[in-house]
Structure 1
Amino acid sequence: MRISTNSMYATSTAQLGTLQSQLAKTQMQLSTNKRMLTPSDDPIASARALEVTQSQSVNAQFATNRANARSSLSQEEVALKGVESLVQDVQSIAVAAGSGTNSASDRATYADELQGRLDDLVALANSSDGNGGYLFSGYQSASPPFVTSGTAVNYNGDAGQVQLQVAGARKLPINDAGSAVFTSIPTANGTFATAANGGNTGTGVISNGSVVDPSALTGRKYSLDFAVSTTGATTYTVTDQSALPPTVSSAVDYAAGQPITVAGMQFDIKGTPGNGDQFTVAPSERQSLFTTMSKLIDTLRAPATTDKQKAALDKGVQDSIGNLALGLDNVLSVHSAVGARLKELDTLDSVGSDTDLQYAATLSGLQDLDMVKAISQFTQQTQTLQAAQKTFNSISGLSLFNYIS
């Protein structure tokens, strides 16, 4: 069989090129520690690796979102701790200011101190989120949520909660609206509120009371009307103001401090009500912490020289202390919710880290190189190429002229 010189050179060059290409590929695999250099090396594994890489990127974005959420919630937690400390301080001041031994000057001093605390509370409610916005504005984070107008503090935010996607199927609120923290707070005992008529002439003071039979609650408004006979006997009647027409109970003898129960609500009246005096029991309303403090300040600044004024002072301070307790409970409830979200972020971080490790292991199985096998293959390919080069060199040097002497 005849082999032309051109064919021999072409075949040998092609073979050497193939061997060099294979060796170069193995060298690249060793330098990158990657089995797949191009998708064509393993199309199925390459497609799977792309999917896992994309999932890994999404998981990394969730981790970034969780970090942002934790930062925002941590700042809110600091602000709420400040509010709790302030309200507890105000509670102590209110108790001290309600002492019957205080003079008008003492009460004025307490009122001035409370005014400073009110200003501090407004500042805490307008806390910054660290990004040029405000924590408690809802969606209106660019504007201060609370604005003082005269003696009133108005809320200019909304009820929105900004949410971040912190996991594949979880969006987490990263703020709380100021309306939920500072304004929507039930008054009195949280179920019903007691009050004395402004025209009362006696010294009767009604307590905040409590619910003793939830099943008997009606949500209606009632009034207690007192009558004093010529002999000095005091009685009262209970009127259901919500009924049409209002219904009136039979007269009941009054005893100072004796529990009075109306539709599952129990309270007492101390002191000496005057003839025609009236007290009301109505469903609890909602007011802000700012209003509670403002009312307490006004109560302490009001004169308290007559028996009627002293009774109004006692009732005003008592109501304020009760409303402050409910306000603190509300702030503590929000704080607890913030803590639960931070705890959830810790759990999601742990799951996210485990997921990331799983993705990394999957990618390693798809892409990483078997170093022992690759080094052995590299050595074999190197020796094969060297042998081929020597063989080509020897064959290319053969000629008939070598045999002609």
Structure 2
Amino acid sequence: MRISTVTMYEQGVSAMNRQQQNFMDVGQQIASGKRVVNPSDDPRAAARAVSVSQSLAVNAQQESSRVTARNSLSQEESVLNSVSDAIGSAKSLVVQAGNGTLSDADRESLASDLEGAFETLVGLANTTDGNGTYLFSGYQDNAKAFSRTDAGDAVDTISYEGDQGVKQQKIDAERLMKTSDTGTDVFMRFSAGSEYIAEADEGNTGNVTFSGPDVRDADAAGYGETFDISFNGDGTYDISSSGAGFADQTNVAYTDGETIEFGGMALTLEGEPAAGDSFTVTPGGDMSQEQASLFKTIGDTINALRQPVETDADQAALDNTLSTASRKLDASLDNVLTTRASVGARMNELDALDDVGGNREIAYEQTRSDLVDLDYNTAISDYMLSQVGLQASQKSFADIQQMSLFQFLN
């Protein structure tokens, strides 16, 4: 078979090109540190590496979401801590105001101090984050959570202006977490299971005061319902409830200083009632937002402290207001602490998910490394081998091109 000179040149050049390409490919792998530089190097591994990279990107996005959620919860936790301190300060002032030896001037001084706590709470309720977003407005980011209405000589009325939307953040593949709480949940609600709270009707004209109520039997008929106690003016009173589990008591003889029992509770009454005087005993968890409003509780107390005490009825009204306020402040504090505990639990969950996400990232990185990263020992060996192959093809080509009959013709 005759082999032309052109054929020998073409085959020699083709062999050198193949060897040089192999040499360059291995050199590129070593330079990049990747075994799969182009998808064509290993299509299956390249496809799987893309999928793993997408999983890594999703994991990184979830990590970023957890950072955002933690920042929001940290801000809320800090505000709730300050709210707890303000409520504690207000409760201390209310207890101090119950001292029967205080004068009107003394009570006015306490009212001023209590108004300071009131303003502090309003400011905390309208706290914003670093972006100007109100923490407790629900979805109404740019609206103040609470607005105030001038009540003349009385303390301003505070109203909630946000909505009931609760912001959520996707912090893991199957986990949506609340990153905020609404203003009503924090400042205008008592936790379920809160103690009973007694309130005197604003129109009472007698001087009856109450203490309690205290729970005697949580399994008694009617326990958990709202009760109304009304005086008939003839030395008797009625106890009624809208619930079906309690049998109303009517025309019960009243004795000054007695402890009356109903629905598993006990309430001590002292003083002389007037016809039409009434009291309401309500489970804390069943109170309306207006009744449970922390701002209304403190505002009513300030207004009561600023009223001069001239008669026994005035003193009774003040004592009853302070007693109710004390119970409500306790219930408000319990609610804030419950919310704060919930925030802490969510922050702990974020820490746990960070650990899970970190382990997941390590696993993804290892999988991607196994798919596309370079084994330097093998690569260097292949590099040296391809270099030898290239040199051999070059030497072979140089030797073959010298093989010609013309070299033997003289």
Please give the TM-score of this superposition, normalised by the length of structure 1: 0.92
Alpha-carbon distance between aligned partners in 1 of 2:46 and 2:306, rounded to the nearest angstrom: 79
Q: 1:249: Cα distance to partner? A: 3.0
**Partners of 1:263 and 1:86 in 2: how far apart?**
34
Which residue of the partner structure matches residue 351 of structure 1? 356
Structure 2 residue aligned with 1:52:
52
Once structures 1 and 2 are overlaid, which stretch shifts more, 164-173 or 211-220? 211-220
The aligned counterpart of 1:39 is 39
Q: How does 1:251-330 map to 2 (within 5 A)?
A: 251-252=252-253, 254-256=255-257, 258-270=258-270, 272-274=271-273, 276=275, 278-284=277-283, 285-286=287-288, 287-330=292-335
Q: Deviations over 1:149-171 (max 9, x none)?
A: 11101110011111111000001
Deviation (angstroms), 1:118:
1.1
1:189: how far off?
6.2
User: Which of 335, 339, 353 is the equivalent residue of 2:344?
Assistant: 339
What's the offset of the Cα at 1:259?
2.3
The Cα of 1:55 is off from its aligned counterpart by 0.4
Match of 1:384 in 2: 389
- Equivalent pair of 1:208/1:319 in contact (CA under 8 Å): no
C-alpha distance after superposition, 1:227-282 (max 9, x if no partner): 56xxxxxx5333426499x95535335251x3211122221112x21463633234
**2:231 matches 1:225:** yes
Q: How does 1:4-403 map to 2 (within 5 A)?
A: 4-150=4-150, 151-185=156-190, 190-196=195-201, 198-201=203-206, 203-215=207-219, 216-217=221-222, 219-225=225-231, 235-240=235-240, 242=242, 248-249=249-250, 251-252=252-253, 254-256=255-257, 258-270=258-270, 272-274=271-273, 276=275, 278-284=277-283, 285-286=287-288, 287-403=292-408
For residues 272-320 of structure 1, give each alpha carbon's deviation from its aligned partner in whole angstroms, at most 9, with x where no partner exists: 2146363323434232110001001011001112111111111111111
Q: Secondary structure at the match of 2:107?
A: helix
For structure 1, which runs of at least 5 residues remain unmatched after alignment? Answer: 229-234
Q: Is the 1:206–1:279 contact (alpha carbons within 8 Å) kept by the matching residues of 2?
A: no
Displacement of 1:393 in angstroms is 0.9
- Once residues 237 and 92 of structure 1 are traced to their aligned partners in structure 2, the CA distance between those partners, rounded to angstroms, is 34
CA distance in structure 2 between the aligned counterparts of 1:127 and 1:113, rounded to whole angstroms = 22
Q: Per the alignment, do residues 389 and 186 of structure 1 end up closer, same or farther by CA in structure 2, a change over 3 Å counting? A: closer
Query: In structure 2, what is the Cα distance between the partners aligned to 1:384 and 1:327?
Result: 84
Q: Equivalents in 1 of 2:310, 2:406: separation in Å? A: 140
Name the SS for the 2:176 alignment partner: strand
Please give the alpha-carbon distance, in whole angstroms, between the structure 1 residues aligned to 2:37 and 2:312: 94
The CA distance in 1 between the partners of 2:45 and 2:252, in whole Å, is 90
For 1:178 and 1:80, the matched residues in 2 are separated by 11
Change (3 A) 1:247 1:7: closer
Measured at CA, do residues 205 and 38 of structure 1 come closer, stay the same or move farther in structure 2, by a change above 3 Å? same
Which segments of 5 or more consecutive residues in structure 2 lack a partner in the other structure?
Answer: 151-155
TM-score for the superposition, normalised by structure 2:
0.91
Count of aligned positions: 395
Which range is displaced more, 281-290 or 64-73? Answer: 281-290
Deviation at 1:32, TM superposition (A): 1.0
The answer to whether the 8 A contact 1:19-1:381 is kept is: yes
Would the alpha carbon gap of residues 196 and 129 (structure 1) be closer, same or farther in structure 2, given more than 3 Å must change?
same
Question: In 2, distance between residues paired with 1:354 and 1:243?
Answer: 55
CA separation in 2, counterparts of 1:168 and 1:186? 31
| RMSD of aligned Cα (Å) | 2.2
Q: Which moved more, 1:285-294 or 1:353-362?
A: 285-294
- Does the aligned pair in 1 maintain the 2:232–2:238 contact within 8 Å? no
Equivalent residues of 2:19, 2:386 under 8 A apart: yes
Partner in structure 1 of residue 153 of structure 2: none
Contact map agreement 1:157 1:178 (CA 8 A) in 2: yes
**Structure 1 residues 197 and 223 mapped into 2: Cα distance closer, same or farther (>3 Å)?**
farther
* Percent of aligned pairs sharing the same letter: 35
